Structure 1
Amino acid sequence: MGLLRKAARAMLSLSLATRPAVADTEIDKHSVDVAATARAFAQAAPLAIGDSYDYAPGVQGEADAEGRIGDTDFKLRLFGAWDAQDEERRYADIRQASLHWRHDRLSLGAGVGTFFWGVSESINVVNVLNQADLRQAVDSKEKMGQTFVSLGLRFGNGELSLFYLPTFREREFPERPAFGLPVSQRALFETPDKGGDIALRGLFYAGDLEAGLGYFKGTRRSPLLIRRSPTATEWTPFYIETENLLLDALYLLHEATLKLEAKTGRELDQGFFAANVGIEYPVYSLPGGIQELSLIAEYLVDDRGERAETLGQNDLFIGLRTSFGDIGNSSFRGVVSYDFDSQGNYLDLGLEHRLSDYFRFETRALVFLNAGRDDNWLYPVRNEDFIEFKLHYSF
C-alpha cells in the first residue's frame, strides 16, 4: 500500500503542476489481454515451501492504455495473475502508471514505470532499475513496476535523463522456482536507507552506432541468498548497496550487428566488472515460409563469483530468432548456454503463433541440462525444468 500511495502522490503532484483538464483527456491506444495458462514441471520440488507439485494451471491478464490529459501524456499498464497451486503467484502489479509532460526539449515524468536498458538477447547486465518478477520466470526478464520521478533533456543526436527512485521493492519468491531451501520473507539490508536511489542515462546516436551511458547508485535489485547460521533451514535475502557505471552499445557492421553491455562499480567495498558482448547475424537465403532468421552468439563474464546477479558469470550463449508462416504469424526463439567454469548449461525455447486477430498461442520451455554442485546459480534450480502454455485473447 505504501508503494501505491507514493506513486499516487507523485502523479497527483505532476498533474496539478501541469493543470490538465479532465475534459481534454484522449485515449490513443488501449488493449486488454487475458490468458489461460498451464505450467508443467519435470518433477515435483520436495524442498519447496508447502506441498510439492509438478503441474499448475492458472490465468493472467494485462490491460494497457496510452493517451493525453491536456498537454500531458499518460501510460497505464496493469498486470495480474492467479495460480491454482502457488499462493505467491496470485498477485497484481502496476507495471506502468505514469505522466509525462513535455515542453520543447525538456520533459518531466513521475509515477510508476517499467524501464528497459540494454541490447543483449540473453542477459541484460545494465538493466538495473526495476525489480525482477521471479514469479513469472527464473531468468529475471519480467520486471515489476518502479516508482520514479524523471527529468529529461533531448538534444540533436540523443537524450539525457535523470531518475529519482523513492521506493525499493523486495524480490518476491514463489514456491517455484525452488532454491533447495525455502526463502525467508524477512530480508536483511546492508543499510537501512533503502529507497532514494538515483540513476542517470544518456542515449546517443551517431551514424550506425547507438550507445547508452549510465550511472546507478542505490540498493541492488538482486539479493544474495545467505544462511544466517550453519543450521538454518531457509535462505535469507540480503540486499547490498551498489554503485554502477553502465555502457550499452549497438553497432551495425555491414550485415552483422555488434552488441555490448558492460558495467563496473563497487559492492561490499570491492570493485567488480561484468559484460555481455555479442553478435547478431541475419540469414538472407531462406527456404519458403520463413520470413526472417537471425543467428546470435553472446559471451557473459562477471568477476563477482558467488555475488553475481545473473544465471551466468563465464558463459557462452548461442541462439537463433526467426519468424515464419504464410504471413509471418509465427515466431521462434531458442538459446542454449554453456558455463566454462562448471560445464553447466541450460536451454531456453519459446514459440508464439497468432491464430487470429484476437487469439494467439504461446509456449516456453526452460530446461537445465547440466548443473554441478560448484555452479552457484544453476545447481539450486536444477529441478526447475518446466514447459508453459498460454492461450491469449486480446481485444
Structure 2
Amino acid sequence: MDALLALFLLASPASAQVKPCGIALSGLSRASGAPGQELELLGSWGDTQGAKQPLLRGIGKHRLEVLSWTPSSVRVRLPEGLKAGMYQVGVFCDDPEKNPNSSGFKEFGIVAPEGGTRVYSTPKTAAFIADWKAKGRQMKRDKRWLDEMTFTVVPLESGAAQEKAESVAASLRAQLAESGSKKIRVVLAAAPPAAFEACVKDDILDRYCLQRAVDAARKTGGAYVGTAPIFITSAAIGLKPKGIVGPPAGVGSYPGGWVLISLFWDKWNRATYKDFKNPPGFDEHGLDGTVRHELFHMLGLPHHEQLANPGFPEAKLCTECSHQFPGGHKDAPHRECQMDCGASDDDWRHQQVFGKGFGFCDKCAAAARAVLEGIEAE
C-alpha cells in the first residue's frame, strides 16, 4: 500500500505543480535601489510570464510589479514604502506557497529614497558643485579614455574573475544611474590582450605592469583607446598579506583611466578561516562597495576626509556593529569615511542594514553628480 500511495502521489496534479520551470537568475542591472525605482533581472525566463512571480524578500516579502518580460530580461518596479536594508530578489515558478522552485536569489540593497540626494543650496555649496562640473568638462576634453563614453569590464583570468563580471557591471551601472549619468555605457569584454598575462606572477599582480600594458594597447590603436577598462583579477594587488599589512581590494587610476578589482581576499579568507562555520568571504556587498569606491577614484574624487566640505551635513558615524569576525574592527563606532567616497568595505552595508553609517554622503554625492554632469555636458 505504501508503494502504491507513493506512485499515486507522484502522478497527482499537486506533485506536477512543484516541478522546476527552467528559469535561472544570472544577474541584476544594479546592486541597490530606492523604493519606486525600476530593476532588471537578467537570466533565462521563458517567452512569457505565465504563473511566475518575481519576489523581493528580506524585511518582509514583496511581490514585484512586472513592467516587461522577455526570454533574457525581466523588468520590475520596486514597491513603495520599503524599509532600507538588505534583501534578496528572484523569481518563483508559481505561488511560493504551492511551488518552492525558483530562479535562485541574489542580494539587493534597498536604500532610503532621500539618502545622498538632498540639496543644500548656499553660495559655498553652489561654488563647490560648479567647480566639480568644470572638472568634469575638463576631464572630457583631456582624457581620451572618455571619448566613447564606455566602461569595459575585463576579466583578466578565467574562473572567478569571469564569474563576477556581471556583478561588477551591475554595480557600475547602479552607481552611474544613482549619480545621474545618462550617457556612459557599461559593457562586458572578452579576454584582454596577451601582454597582460605577464603582469601576474606567483598570484601577485603588478599594477605598474598593468598600467604599461594599458598604455601600450592604447598607443597601438588597439584595445581601450577610447574606453576605460574595469579589470577583474583573482590575484593579489602588489603583495600578499603579511601580518596586518595586505593588498588592496581595488585600485582606481585617474591618470590612467582604469580600475582594477581584486577577488584575492575572498579566496584567502576562505582558506585562512576554513575552520569557521561561515568563513568571512569577500561577498557581494563587499564587491559592490569596492567597485563603487574605485569608480569615483578613477573619475578624480578623493577620499571623503580629503574633500573639503562647503556646508553639506557631515556623514554619520555607525554605532551598530561590533565586528567580532576575524579581520574586522572590534569596536564601534567606526571613524573611517563613508564607502563610496573612500574608506572601509563595511560602511555601505551599514547604511543598507541599519539606515545609519555613511552610505553615500551628501558632499560626495554632490561631487559625483557634478563631475558626471560635466563629463556628459561636452
Q: Same fold (TM over 0.5)?
A: no
Decide which structure has greater helix share: 2
Kindly indicate whether structure 1 or structure 2 has the higher relative contact order, using CA contacts under 8 Å at least 6 residues apart.
2
Structure with more strand by fraction: 1
